[in-house]
Chains A and B, each alone.
Chain A
Amino acid sequence: MSARVQAEPFDLAVELRGFGAGAGAVVTFTGIVRDDSGHMAALDIEHYPGMTERALTDFGAAAAARFDLSDWRIVHRHGRIETGGQIMMVATAARHRRAAFDAADYLMDWLKSRAPFWKREIAQDGSASWVEARSNDEDALGRW
């Protein structure tokens, strides 16, 4: 049960080693930098050190209580991440798959609009623009 914020890349295989031992179901989600415009070079992610770790830990604890998880892990990167690179991951472990899937979905909805991260798209020509929050990300929280 842990949350981490780091600039370095992470290795999913390493993160899952020993994760959720004894659980019947483990679900993982990995977010990857995609290039919708065809001109993007990277994302640059800013965060609020201190609050970020606290928020992620609170979300994890809330998911564990609500979905009866035996284990959870959140890893989120900050700084510059090239197109195709891994941004973040969540892993959830429970007795049954439905709880593990729902918990991962719940964590992603909270991460999207309540964790203090801000993405900036860096284009191939070096220009940068802040990513705008999507209202359907905010609406998604209403599901829970």
Chain B
Amino acid sequence: MTLEVLYFAWLRERVGHPRESVATDAATVRDLVAQLAAQSDGHAAALDDLATLRCAVDQKLVDLDTPLAGAREVAFFPPMTGG
């Protein structure tokens, strides 16, 4: 499948771009993170700390063990600081 992957805040800065299309067979978000982290040093630096990594699949906040079957858009970002 091909996923649209988005990055926000300092993850976006480390990766170097805000979005990319990614061909993947990853079963879960965690598998996708491992694939992306191997793509470049920037990706590795952005996705380094799984404890603080936040993720949304199709614009819903999920945890790393969420399956990707049927997903179109996956976003990665640091803990949110709204309000």
Contacts and interface: CB of A to CB of B under 8 A. Distances in A.
A119 B81 CA distance: 6
B81 A48 contact: no
Interface size on B, as a range, is 10 to 19
A118 to B, nearest CB: 4
B59 interface: yes
Interface string A44-82: 001110110011000000000000000000001000000
A108 B83 contact: yes
B8 A118 contact: yes
Interface stretch (A6-14, A15-23, A95-103, A129-137): A129-137
Contact of B82 (A50, A54, A112): A112
A94 interface: no
A118 B80 contact: yes
A34 interface: no
A111 B77 contact: no
Chain A facing B: main interface SS: mixed
A54 B80 contact: no
B83 A118 contact: no
Given A48-B59, A113-B82, A118-B81, 7 more contacts: A46-B8, A48-B56, A48-B75, A115-B83, A116-B82, A130-B78, A133-B78
Interface of A: 31, 46-48, 50-51, 54-55, 76, 87-88, 108, 111-120, 130-133, 137-138
27 contacts: A46-B8, A47-B82, A48-B6, A48-B75, A48-B77, A50-B59, A51-B59, A51-B60, A54-B59, A55-B61, A76-B82, A87-B83, A108-B83, A112-B81, A112-B83, A115-B82, A115-B83, A117-B80, A118-B9, A118-B81, A130-B10, A130-B78, A130-B81, A131-B81, A132-B81, A133-B78, A138-B79
Interface of B: 6, 8-10, 56, 59-61, 75, 77-83
